[in-house]
């Protein structure tokens, strides 16, 4: 086997009970994306944005893995270093399944990020309240997610990984 690259979106976790964003009845049917998923919204109505992500985080705590998460983890264990997992999802179901090195294009719900220095740390399924500050520099914090108008911080890693994988072609 050469290499396998998985690229998944919200549909892969829908079977686990996680709402998709764009499908009929999805989150964007109930929320305006620019009200909860933009730097401007965080600046304008910080608590509303934090509450949106806090709710997603609390809902995530009891979600169960599905066959797709388990299959990708199994392939990673069977073929170490040859299976790259890239997802648009912000849930932690791949990690719960045992996947290693998953690239989360849009961030991760269970992590917080400092708005000033960029320090990232795991917060699990706890809420972020507006009064919390970065343990590294004392600035404001937010969920580690990529807003709709932002470039994913992982985009350079993906190109690097694709270039690295291309080196293994026969």
CATH number for the domain spanning 39: value is: 3.30.1600.10
Residue 168 lies in a domain: no
Residue 112 lies in a domain: yes
Mean residue pLDDT of the chain comes to: 84
What is the set of active-site residues?
Answer: 106
- Name the pLDDT band for 136 (thresholds 50, 70, 90): very high
Residue 159 lies in a domain: no
Residue 167 lies in a domain: no
pLDDT tens for each residue of 89-107: 999 999 999 999 999 988 8
Domain of 78? 4-153
DSSP-derived pairing of the beta strands 107-114 and 141-145: antiparallel
Q: How many distinct structural domains can be found in the chain?
A: 1
Residue 127 lies in a domain: yes
Please tell me the pTM assigned to this model.
Answer: 0.82
Alpha-carbon gap, residue 97 to 127, rounded angstroms: 23
- Report DSSP letters for 18-73, one per residue: PPPSSSTTSHHHHS-HHHHSSHHHHHHSHHHHHHHHHHHHHHHTTPPP-HHHHHHH
pLDDT tens for each residue of 14-54: 999 988 877 777 777 788 888 888 888 888 998 999 999 99
Residue 151 pLDDT:
52
Residue 128 lies in a domain: yes
- Name the pLDDT band for 170 (thresholds 50, 70, 90): very low
DSSP-derived pairing of the beta strands 4-8 and 103-104: unpaired
Residue 23 lies in a domain: yes
Residue 147 lies in a domain: yes
Considering only residues 147 and 149, tell me which one the structure prediction assigns the higher pLDDT.
147
């Amino acid at each position: 086997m050469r290499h396998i690259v998985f690229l998944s979106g919200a549909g892969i976790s829908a079977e686990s009970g996680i709402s998709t964003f764009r499908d009929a009845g999805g989150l964007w049917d109930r929320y305006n994306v620019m009200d909860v998923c933009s730097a401007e919204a965080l600046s304008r109505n910080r608590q509303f944005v934090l509450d949106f992500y806090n709710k997603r985080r609390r809902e995530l705590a009891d979600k169960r893995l599905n066959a797709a998460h388990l299959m990708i983890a199994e392939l990673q264990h069977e073929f170490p270093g040859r299976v790259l997992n890239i997802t648009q999802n912000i849930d932690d179901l791949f990690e719960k399944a045992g996947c290693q090195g998953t690239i989360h294009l849009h961030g991760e719900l269970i992590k917080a990020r400092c708005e000033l220095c960029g320090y990232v740390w795991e917060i699990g399924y706890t809420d972020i309240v507006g009064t919390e500050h970065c343990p590294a520099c004392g600035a404001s914090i937010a969920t580690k997610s990529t807003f709709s108008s932002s470039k994913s911080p992982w985009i350079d890693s993906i190109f690097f990984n694709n270039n690295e994988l291309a080196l293994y072609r026969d």
